[in-house]
Amino acid sequence: MRLFCLPHAGGTSTAFREWADWLPGAIELCIVEIPGHGYRLNEALIHRLQPLAHQVAQDIQPYLDKPFAIFGHSMGNLLGFELSHYLQNSYQRTPIHLFLSGRGAPHLPSREEPIHQLPEDQFIRKITEYNGTPKEVLQHKELMDLMLPILRTDFEVCETYQYSPKPPFNFPLTIFGGLSDQGASKPDLQEWNCYTNASFSLRMFPGDHFFIFSAQKQLLQAIVRDINDHFPISTV
């Protein structure tokens, strides 16, 4: 089977590069690079979530010939949610398991003030608070000049997203959160339980919004365990 991974705002495929070392051979890691990021830097950025989900669906369509699961963190959380609905409605394909991380249920109002239109100094100060951008990048003017349009666009994608009611999924849904993540509380994460008719799990890990790095081994163990519960795989 395949595991498609969707990055956080400003993230690239490198965020998941170590995952292959921890996953069993039965799970093929498929990291999604979205337009305007990483090795697709020369492509136009996409400023709204629905067109982004449609583009990602087209990109991964040739790889839907095997059972697959989806993991998305933060911006990738919303993208994974909309992508799963789009694949179901337009391609008649659904994941065997959906893993969403670091963001409360989509019907809930955001706890954060919009930042994508802030002046540069205020915007940089805000993204620094998320603790997801390396200090080396924040202190490197040329790198920041490159990253700022990408970060602004990704935050715009999230901050302009408007949820519209959709029927619950019929496949398992697991939600992950960081115990110290102020922007995604456990009650807000628990609200995801109404989005599936199948099994639902909420798993919390030590760490802030980017617990996916600090608790990487435990997170991947949980993903493999949850997949194996509903779709038995070899763990060798």
- Residues marked active site are found at 74
Q: Rounded CA gap, 42 and 33, in Å?
A: 12
Q: What is the DSSP letter of 7?
A: P
Q: Rounded CA gap, 24 and 89, in Å?
A: 30
Nearest Cα to Cα of residue 69 among 58, 84, 54, 88: 84
Nearest Cα to Cα of residue 51 among 79, 81, 89: 79
Query: Which residues have C-beta within 8 Å of that of residue 121, sequence separation ≥ 6?
Result: none
